[in-house]
Amino acid sequence: MNGVHNIVIPAFEIILRGYPYMKAIINGKIILEDKIIKDKVLVFDNEIEGIESCVSDSFEIIDAEDNYVSPGFIDMHIHGIKGNGFTLEYRETIHKTGESLPEFGVTGFLPTLVSEPRNDMLEILKLIKGEVKKATGASILGVHLEGPFISSLYRGAHDEKNLYYPDTGDILCHKDIIKMITYAPELDENNQFLKTIKGNSDIIMAMGHTNATFEEAQKAIYEGASHCTHIFNAMRHFDHREPGIIGAALLQPVSVDIVADMIHVNKELFQLLLNNKGKESIALITDAIFAAGLEEGVYHYQGRDFYVKDGTIRLGDGKLAGSILTLNRAADNFYKHTSLSVAETVGLISKNPARILGIDDKKGSLQKGLDADIVIFNDSFEIQRTIIEGNTVFCRQRA
């Protein structure tokens, strides 16, 4: 287009369709599903209007300057960022995590709760629920309970005293805000917890932090477990005589997510996972905690010291405690170490998580009628602009 945008829409149609309030992105490499479209214009208001050849001068024009234009990124697993998190300790600043995420291209996310005392967990759920409609940054798409129904053997950084056996208890009372639960199938006798949750809600049941055998995982999948949380991490190891949950997740038609920081998982496993699961069944997550985006150092959080150094965050015993990864960097890492194109990689942080969460009728692509959650990024996945429901919420300042 060379920066030219011509008037081609008749005046009566402009008025009829509300075009004076429309916006258009020009000079961008538009990612539509797995392909890239050039020399076209993305038109939107609060929803995607479509891809056009040219537009009216009455539109608000955004010049992408030959950068990529993609659907907004969705992080299904994040505990916090830039000194904030989803605990009672940070109850007054819960909203700040969502406000920080657009800088990294995230337009929607699941606030993810670690294992907490039950009353604390319920109070945090209520606090987050109160933030959903008030969110001024990335949209809260529901809550991910990563625990407390997990294995003490593979608890990772979860406090063992806060773990307990699967129990629906007050869970179903909050099914309107809980979107996903990570649990250990081997703790669920006769899969009763799983059956009750699936029979009474749309909550996604994810297997993780688990010592489940192959058979136990298979039975859970048969009863409705449909996802595997941060595959390869915090779970029974794969063995040629007992392939465990990893074997079941690779073999069965469940979706998986992975922490692609090249620390939690060796980068060579990215392609191995892709070869086994295919690009449609993988989502990238960050598993980031409060220290993501902060300088190296020692931080005190929830009564424990956390050490940030060399791109990792660890407890005093050296155990990994989540990550300090951002979703745009996860995509860049996966792109560099697999056979996927840029457009295909973007699917792992947009349409795939949207489909896993059952919201792909509203988010996850640049199809007409979906929410105008849009990201403009460069060849290094550095975010230039983030748009949420048609409004710019982050724009990188020129040096």
Distance CA 386, CA 399 (A): 18
> How far is 304 from 225, CA to CA, in rounded Å?
33
Q: Catalytic residues, which ones?
A: 287
Residue 192 has pLDDT above 90, yes or no: yes
The C-alpha R_g of the chain, in whole angstroms, comes to 21
Report whether 186 belongs to an annotated binding site.
Answer: no
pLDDT band at 321 (very low <50, low <70, confident <90, very high): confident
**pLDDT band per the 50, 70, 90 thresholds, residue 302:** confident
Confirm whether residue 212 is marked as ligand binding.
Answer: no
Q: Is 343 annotated as a binding residue?
A: no
- Which of 43-57, 202-216, 318-332 reaches the highest mean pLDDT? 202-216
Q: Is 321 among the annotated ligand-binding positions?
A: yes
Q: Work out the mean pLDDT of the chain and round it to a whole number.
A: 92
pLDDT confidence of 156, banded at 50, 70, 90? confident
- Express each pLDDT in 213-232 by its tens digit: 999 999 999 999 999 999 99
**pLDDT number for residue 16:** 45
**For the domain with range 72-365, which CATH number is right: 3.40.50.80, 3.40.50.620, 3.40.50.720, 3.20.20.140?**
3.20.20.140
* pLDDT at residue 10 is higher than 80: no
Given the DSSP bridges, would you call strands 106-113 and 383-388 parallel, antiparallel or unpaired?
Answer: unpaired
Please state, in angstroms and rounded to a whole number, the distance separating the CA atoms of residues 260 and 230: 9
Report whether pLDDT(15) > 60.
no
Q: What is the pLDDT of residue 399?
A: 63
Which of 56-60, 114-118, 123-127, 138-142 is least confident?
A: 56-60
Q: Residue 204 burial (CB < 10 Å; 0-12/13-18/19+)?
A: buried
Give the C-alpha distances (Å, rounded to integers) separating 179 from 31, 329, 379: 27, 25, 33
Give the closest residue to 114 by CA, choosing from 80, 81, 84. 80
pLDDT of residue 191: 98
Q: pTM (2 decimals)?
A: 0.93
Check pLDDT > 50 for residue 233: yes
pLDDT tops 90 at residue 1 = no
Q: From CA 308, how far away is CA 314, in angstroms rounded?
A: 7
Report the alpha-carbon distance of residue 283 to residue 331 in Å, rounded.
10
Q: d(Cα 235, Cα 328) in Å, to the nearest integer? A: 26
pLDDT, greater one: 381 or 20 = 381
Confidence of residue 319 (pLDDT cuts 50, 70, 90): confident
